Amino acid sequence: MTISNTVPKHGSDISRDDIPQTQKWHIEDIFASLSKWEETCKTLKSRLDDLSAFKGKLHETEKLFNCLALRDELSQSIEKIYAYTRLQRDTDNADQNFQELVGIAENITAEYYNATSFIEPEILAQKELSFIWLEKTNPKFCQYKHYLEDLMRKAPHVLPTREEEILSKSRLSTSAAENIFRILTGADISFAPATDSEGASHAVSEGSYLLNMTSRDRKLRENTFKSLMGTYRQYRNTLSASLAGNCRSANFYATIHNYQDTLSASLAEDNIPVSLYDNLINAIHANLEPLHDYITLKKEKLSLSEFHAFDLYVSLAKENTDIFSYTYPEACTIVQTALAPLGDSYCEKLSEGFSSGWIDVYENKGKRSGAYSWGIYGVHPFVLLNYQPRYNSISTIAHEMGHAMHSYLSSKNQTYINSDYSIFCAEVASTTNEILLLEHMLKNANKEQKIYLINQFLEAVRTTVYRQVQFAEFEKCIHEEISAGKTLVAKNLEELWLDLNKKYYGKSLALDQELSAEWSRIPHFYTPFYVYKYATGYSAATTFADLILQNRLDAKEKYLQFLSSGGSDYSLALLQKAGVDLNTPLPIEYTLRKFKEKLTELKTLLD
């Protein structure tokens, strides 16, 4: 792995032209030129009409196979067409040309989905369709085994074509509640500035909220908290109405499709049993004491007579931005070393990703903030970073390259139809890498660094496991109210939210009136029963990382097989084959036991 150690000029005011080519992703790996992109767009649009020739003929085995094969071929082209434009726009959002190209790609994508919309309803209309019969007729159907069996699994919940068309058209009107929430919270609501302990004024927004919550200035934290939460509370009646409307809409679509309720419908998408959801909440309830101890420790070490919600995000480590100040090449070497337990083959490809145009490294003027990984079948993954010399950026490299390697291995080992892994599995690979990095860093850390790293782990578990399950329990309660024919009013939602905070954080947390409004700002509640996946994913990753480090039961080989499996089976089955059974509470209990162990270690270091 060779990466220049020279740090280029970068930042929000630096032109992209000033960033070295070696620190940019190779967009030409998708299309060698814009003219090649335009040629592919033209060809794809001309071939969309070929799909219509299959309408009404999918009961013929050969026609069915040829239709699916053509759909997959065109879908791969669509992925490349769209990625080519979006990736470039994300590196310079001010470039009008990129914006125009994205618009063209979006229109072509819409045309593609319209052209393929008849396929699944027509397959589902064949109620007696047997994969065994299809495979005997044409062995090439083997690649479609999981896809077709999963499609037929959902058949009892699919209505006649005309009714599905009506429901599909109705979604625009029934999505009003979510749109109202996003417009109200994203455009119409404004927050008063917050003053710090020296009287300086700071802007308050959803974007700056977490930054202010991690400040050492308690007055700034308190005033930010009261400004943001207090403002939301002023709109509690409107926001409770919009949430109720969204829940009613979800319940309508669930029950009209023959599901018992919204929870059953939401989990059915990944073939997840409701018992898993309930077991997750029960496992957390049985292991709340370590979280209570952590909050008590924070209260004690921060020398607070009262511990409030605005104190939750303050680190117990000393404030030192240079504690892990590494250049990008140094960070890549650290990540490479930390992930060595995954084997030579994994690390060789990781090294190639670092040096072969997978990654767009530094911030430049107009570049999108944050980080992500984007897998493209038949090319290679692309990773967007905005690297800064601190631990969070090193961890982000490990995280996003976890996604990238998952995409690479799935694409390499699976046919296109089976290459796309589920959201349920998506965060496992990235978080496993984060934990392997943290354990590696702990081995060579001094006392101050260990305190920082352990605090990072404890906060990750608090926010990704405990907090997300708290959200999941809140969702379960409010959707049960809707299923029972009741409504959601602000007063009841506030009481439920405070009760859950009291249960989860214990007696050390002071319950401010403003905290009662926190439920109203959570956008995930408008995508029912999604947040629990953060907790299951983190628990699976914690288990995988420890099994790999302990070299137990062929853990590395099983884990790499999981990364190579894409979406060739159901998520729970893939994880179970790899050694993590989320049908049992063992992974979550293992994660919480590790939380308790790290908390004990932190107490010793702080004494």
More confident site: 3 or 479: 479
Q: How far is CA 289 from CA 127, 283, 295, 504, 595, in A?
A: 51, 12, 10, 9, 11
Q: Give the C-alpha separation, 594 to 515, whole Å.
A: 29
pLDDT over 90 at 121, yes or no:
no
Mean pLDDT confidence for 159-169: 83
pLDDT over 70 at 66, yes or no:
yes
pLDDT at 228: 97
pLDDT at 4: 59
pLDDT band of residue 10 (cuts 50, 70, 90) is confident
pLDDT at 360: 97
Residue 227 lies in a domain: yes
pLDDT at 469: 98
Q: Are residues 51 and 126 in the same domain?
A: yes
Helix (H) or strand (E) holding 364: none
Residue 96 lies in a domain: yes
**Residues annotated as part of the active site:** 400
Q: Which residue has the tokens 């939401």?
A: 266
pLDDT at 292: 98
pLDDT at 138: 82
Domain that holds residue 116: 31-158
Mean pLDDT confidence for 579-588: 95
Rounded-to-10 torsion of CA 7, 385, 333, 562: -170
pLDDT over 70 at 371, yes or no:
yes
pLDDT at 319: 72
Q: Are residues 95 and 204 in the same domain?
A: no
Q: Are residues 124 and 47 in the same domain?
A: yes
pLDDT at 301: 96
pLDDT at 431: 97
pLDDT in tens, 207-232: 889 999 999 999 999 999 999 999 99
DSSP 178-204: HHHHHHIIIII-----EE-TTS-EE--
pLDDT in tens, 406-456: 999 999 999 999 999 999 999 999 999 999 999 999 998 999 999 999 999
Asked which of 111, 142, 158 is the last residue of a domain, the reply is 158
Q: Give the C-alpha separation, 69 to 582, whole Å.
A: 34
- Tokens for 27, please give them: 């967009």
pLDDT over 80 at 161, yes or no:
no
DSSP 29-68: GT-SSHHHHHHHHHHHHHHHHHHHTTTT-TTSHHHHHHHH
Q: Are residues 37 and 151 in the same domain?
A: yes
pLDDT in tens, 515-574: 999 999 999 999 999 999 999 999 999 999 999 999 887 999 999 999 999 999 999 999
pLDDT at 46: 93
pLDDT at 14: 85
Asked which of 109, 141, 158 is the last residue of a domain, the reply is 158
pTM above 0.75, yes or no: yes
pLDDT at 320: 64
pLDDT over 90 at 493, yes or no:
yes
pLDDT at 321: 58
pLDDT at 322: 66
Q: Are residues 35 and 148 in the same domain?
A: yes
* pLDDT above 70: percentage of residues in the chain: 98
pLDDT over 90 at 247, yes or no:
yes
Mean pLDDT confidence for 145-150: 92
Q: Are residues 222 and 132 in the same domain?
A: no
Residue 212 lies in a domain: yes
pLDDT at 303: 96
pLDDT at 272: 96
Mean pLDDT value across the chain: 94
What is the rounded radius of gyration, in angstroms, for the C-alpha atoms of the chain? Answer: 25
Helix (H) or strand (E) holding 269: none
Residue 211 lies in a domain: yes
Q: Are residues 36 and 153 in the same domain?
A: yes
Q: Which residue has the tokens 């989990």?
A: 267
Mean pLDDT confidence for 353-363: 96
Q: Give the C-alpha separation, 511 to 309, whole Å.
A: 8
Q: Are residues 35 and 151 in the same domain?
A: yes
pLDDT band of residue 2 (cuts 50, 70, 90) is low
12 burial (CB, 10 Å; 0-12 / 13-18 / 19+) is exposed
pLDDT over 70 at 581, yes or no:
yes
pLDDT at 495: 98
pLDDT in tens, 171-208: 878 888 998 998 999 889 999 999 999 999 999 999 88
Contacts (Cβ under 8 Å, ≥6 apart) of 387: 328, 331, 361, 362, 363, 393, 396, 397
Q: Give the C-alpha separation, 546 to 524, whole Å.
A: 30
- Tokens for 208, please give them: 């700056």
CATH code for the domain in which residue 67 is found: 1.20.140.70
pLDDT at 233: 97
Q: Are residues 205 and 151 in the same domain?
A: no
pLDDT over 60 at 253, yes or no:
yes
Residue 49 lies in a domain: yes
pLDDT in tens, 379-407: 999 999 999 999 999 999 999 999 999 99
Mean pLDDT confidence for 124-133: 76
pLDDT at 126: 82
- Tokens for 193, please give them: 């500035």
Mean pLDDT confidence for 270-289: 97
Residue 536 lies in a domain: no
pLDDT at 139: 86
pLDDT band of residue 95 (cuts 50, 70, 90) is confident
Mean pLDDT confidence for 459-487: 97
Q: Are residues 64 and 154 in the same domain?
A: yes
Q: Which residue has the tokens 């107490």?
A: 603
Q: Give the C-alpha separation, 294 to 288, whole Å.
A: 10
Residue 455 lies in a domain: no
Q: Are residues 96 and 194 in the same domain?
A: no
Number of separate domains in the chain: 2
pLDDT at 220: 98
Q: Give the C-alpha separation, 208 to 531, whole Å.
A: 22
* pLDDT above 90: percentage of residues in the chain: 83
CATH code for the domain in which residue 223 is found: 1.10.287.830
Q: Which residues on adjacent β-strands are paired with residue 202?
A: 194
Cβ atoms of 479 and 528 within 8 Å: the answer is yes
Q: What is the three-class DSSP state of 384?
A: strand
pLDDT at 196: 97
pLDDT band of residue 5 (cuts 50, 70, 90) is low
Residue 406 lies in a domain: no
Q: Are residues 86 and 204 in the same domain?
A: no
